[in-house]
Amino acid sequence: MVVKEGWTGRFYEDFEVGDVYRHPNGRTVCTADNLWFSLLTQNSNPVHIDHEYSAKTELGKPLVNSTFTLALVTGQSVIDVSQNVMANLGWDEVKLPHPVFEGDTIYSQSEVLSKRESKSRPTVGIVTVRSIGFNQDGVVVITYKRTCMVYKRGHAPKLAQVRPSAAGESS
């Protein structure tokens, strides 16, 4: 049996300006996501948590909490952009051109806008991407720039290597 390592994300050296990463996993937003995220973040606006109230608004149904949308698209990008991040430095130019509703499926992609060596930390570089989230119909629901400090190859902390015990072995 040959054991092959799984994807561990990009390191600073792997980023090239102009590259576009289509993040592999979409996510359908359900009512529980919207309710729980709003309640966890103490966002009490009834347009997110009260279906009866939301039905009386111009939109006619609950609006997904916009910071959930930001968190979801950021999370979708981790495998390609920030699996090996030391720190996020900022989210800029966040735009929400179309609402997200419960039942929408969100997909995303990121484009590398810039990269440079860190002036103060030799083990990381600074990478800026523009991420776009879009719904099942291809309608853009969020765009933003994100800048992060990404470890250079060989400098990220090592992940724990958990190995399964051999069949029949007691733990």
The answer to whether position 69 is within a domain reads yes
Under 8 Å CB-to-CB from 106, ≥6 apart: which residues? 26, 27, 28, 29, 69, 72, 73, 76, 100, 133, 134, 135, 141
In the chain, how many domains are there? 1
Residue 82 CA to residue 88 CA, distance in Å, equals 9
The answer to whether position 162 is within a domain reads no
> Which residues is 106 bridged to in the sheet?
27
Report yes or no on whether pTM surpasses 0.95. no
The answer to whether position 167 is within a domain reads no
The answer to whether position 108 is within a domain reads yes
5 pLDDT band (50/70/90 cuts)? Answer: confident
CATH number, domain of 25, equals 3.10.129.10
Q: Which domain holds residue 104?
A: 12-151
Supply the Cα-derived Rg of the chain in whole angstroms.
Answer: 20
Q: What is the pLDDT of residues 51-61, one digit of tens each?
A: 999 999 999 99
The answer to whether position 22 is within a domain reads yes
pLDDT at 166: 63
The answer to whether position 50 is within a domain reads yes
The answer to whether position 41 is within a domain reads yes
State mean pLDDT over 64-87.
Answer: 96
The answer to whether position 159 is within a domain reads no
